[in-house]
Structure 1
Amino acid sequence: MPPIQSKVEGRGNGIKTVIVNLNEVARALGRPPTYVLKFFGYELGALTNESQDRYLINGVHEAGELQDSLDGFINKFVLCGSCKNPETEIQIKKGLLQRDCKACGHLSMIDIRHKLSTYILKNPPSDKKGKKKSATATANVVGGGKSIADLAKNDSNGDSANNSFADAGDDDDDILTKKINAEAAALANAKIEVNDDDWAVDMSKEAIEARAKELDNLTLAESDGYTQLGEWLLKESKDSKDDLPSDIDIYKKIMELEILENPETVQVLAQTLFDDDVVEQIDEHLGLLKKLIKGEEESEKAFLGGLERYIGLENQGLIEKVPKILMTVYDKELISEEVILNWGTKVSKKYVAKDISKKVRKAAKPFISWLQEADEESDEE
């Protein structure tokens, strides 16, 4: 990125600072020059103006002062929150601003309370084809007639524990979670359609022991690949999920077992890769999961089914975290909105007993409702 170059023009009340090379600076950062200019205006408390590729700020501002301000823009709106790489793109999803890192794949939140965030929501960046990205659902994204921006604004007058919306994605007590927890109490009479499918790869302890008895007279190679993959992962991580093989080794094992293209593979992974820290672990295995799911509907359904089986049979303590788990797989673009909505509105015996399936979906209802409301809001706009 070239250093900022500025030039002062005019005199008296009409004195202005021209940023000579703002186009080059903005191009190096991968951001529209108007975003940088508006940021300068908000940070320096000065009016800005763009006219025929000339970028002006009222008053006298030295290049060093502008460079310092630019560092703030880079930290807040460019650098990845995880690896600090500048190769990011701004995404707008349901009224939230995110930096999507092309280096590590991490999605980091942008503070919605900053004035520039409001400007970006109203003036979304263009994609590679020059088409403006959608900025719908900027209001009512959490339900109750309030936007994320409104909630963040109200929250700024509250206690200091919720002072930074930028950390919302990592805080169990973030705004969305609070809303979900508040709505969860009203779900006792929820009605959900029933789907009576009844097949799945069961990686519960009882199922593994039962299969082991059946396979006493078979070689390992003769048993199905999904069972081998699941039992291998469970054996490797018997003491802790930190002992799991690397994603590369897991991928090689899947290739060796010749089950790369099968949706049941991701279902088995959903039952064996996670423990109580499932939200963080989804992010850790994001590259592997995306490579296997590949945006295919059957694989997405299988992954959700595997999570349902793991949570419903092996770790029911996670049931109360189902909304946040769904938010994570949706936010990371592992599972599409359509698949989540279809899953959340139909009880199925495919992966667990009907009563457990209904219990898991009741826990998911606040997130499903939020997704439906945001979808309706988008349709109306």
Structure 2
Amino acid sequence: MTTINIRRDVTDPFYRYKMERLQSKIEGKGNGIKTVVANLSSVANSLARPPSYIIKYFGFELGAQTNNNPNDDRWIINGAHDAGKLQDYLDGFINKFVLCKKCKNPETDVNIKDGRIFLDCKACGQRSETDPRLKLSSFILKNQPKKGKKDKSTKKAERKARKEAEASGDHDEGANGNGNGSGGNSPGESGSDHGGSDANGDVELEAGSDDEFTRRIAAEAKEIDIVEDAKEVEWSVDTSEAAVKARQKDLPDELKRTLVINGGDADDDGEGGTNTAYDQLGSWIGTAAAEAGGVGKVSDVDIYRKAQELGIEKKHRTLTVLAQTVFDDAIVKQIEPRAGMLRKMIDGSDRHQKALLGGTERFVGIEKPNLVPQVSAILMKYYDNDVVTEEVLKSWGTKASKKYVDLSTSKKVRKSAEKFMEWLENAESDEDEDDDDE
């Protein structure tokens, strides 16, 4: 089942909060036509809200009748409404009845006091009130669960989520779980567990992990690993030494050059020679890009998981490989969508940032010399998306280096970066003047 960010305005693929994409099915004809929202319970569980709130919100927005507490988990809206349209309306529901008004985090609880509806944010502690003039606000007040109890639809959604979470851990038996209305069995199960864990503050995903971002990667990986027939995914790319060498023979010359960093000499991380883990990662990305129809179609999560599999997700040289393999001629537009993965792997390290700049220098100066005029725009994107800091950029721009390319190419790349470097200096000067004026 495809999952999307709860806040669709957030494009970061590593955004913590996920939910299934709404699925709808139009049934009947004429006056009896209706729309069944197949996976509403799962989506509602990801948002930590009763499905009845969402279906009623749709009804108010569409001016249509709805069933607010079905026994068969078939959530129905009268009339024909496509999933895309409903997804847009769901954004409105999330903004008004889920997101914290201060930090825009969806990790909120609904509390009702003195006829007013409050959203208590577990992330920042803010308590914000929903608009009492909204029709759904009146519905919530009239249909609030009894104190200490959950309404029928909420309990049903939570039971289903627990069963799906348990089934997803049963390997081959997971595909035969309760996929009622979810339209996707195991993948749907993982999506439900994935989103629900964040929204409800479930500590299960916290055990044995280094940090919350890493837990999100693990949850995303679980979702990808489980397929329709619940068989274990077999990597389509053989990463054995013989297979990598065979594929490298078929690759274009410019890509072959990206697979061996610094001529294949042993590095200070103790990994060197031919067919290193870095070579394998570069080869895998190249093969995946060819199969997908372009490097832009290779997902960040897949790339990160492959680096994890090879044990190099925290190595600085991995950033050099990524700079040369995850972009193409549209690099300026591709940096922002990739920024989440790059920041995750860099983790604030100057060394990693310099490795990324070195790989970019090699990519632009040797692999794609037509991109040399765009160096300033590339650096601006790195800077704007907090991938590379001002200090590292200034240090990089001070002098040419033979570490990643020949000296003449390095000078050419830095020459093209002069416009950005001047802007960076002027921006700092302007800030200093503002401070003096104050």
- Asked whether the two chains share a fold, i.e. TM above 0.5, the reply is no
Q: What's the TM-score, normalizing by structure 1?
A: 0.44
